[in-house]
Amino acid sequence: MYIEDTGIENIVADLAIVDEIMLKHNLIRGGQWDYERATFDKKYVIKEGTYYLRVFSYTIDGNVDSRHADMILKKPVIGKHYYPHGVEYGEGEHFPESLVKDCVATLKAVYAELLPHNLKK
């Protein structure tokens, strides 16, 4: 399920700043990156299952490995994890209202902190 109208999509910011702000809001980059892309995940374990708030990003210059890169953030998505298959984002999935509210609140907080660092003018 894509989360619309967060303002976060298309923000451009330095990777070090993105890492710091995302981590502050429990969005972990961990090992989900390559030289051009990075994914930030916040894991939720609730009685209905395991869910992830996921923010995809890619670099327009530099590379993620060197930590010298400007990142463009993409539209955030919520997915449900199914063992052993992975995370499903489909529109047929049910996402608890409390989960969606927390995800939106997290994204608003991230947006507010990233906005002053937005390189896209």
Domain ranges of the chain: 12-117
Instruction: Report pLDDT for 120.
Output: 79
Confirm whether pTM is higher than 0.85.
Answer: yes
- pLDDT (tens digit, 9 = 90+) per residue, 58-69? 998 878 887 778
Instruction: Report pLDDT for 62.
Output: 78
3 state SS of 114 = helix
Amino acid letter, residue 82: Y
**CA–CA separation, 99 and 95 (whole Å):** 7
Instruction: Report pLDDT for 34.
Output: 80
Counting residues of the chain whose pLDDT is more than 90, the rounded percentage is 63
- Cα dihedral: 92, 39, 116, 20 (round 10): 130
CATH class of 12-117: alpha beta
Q: Give the range with max mean pLDDT: 33-37, 83-87, 108-112, 117-121.
A: 108-112
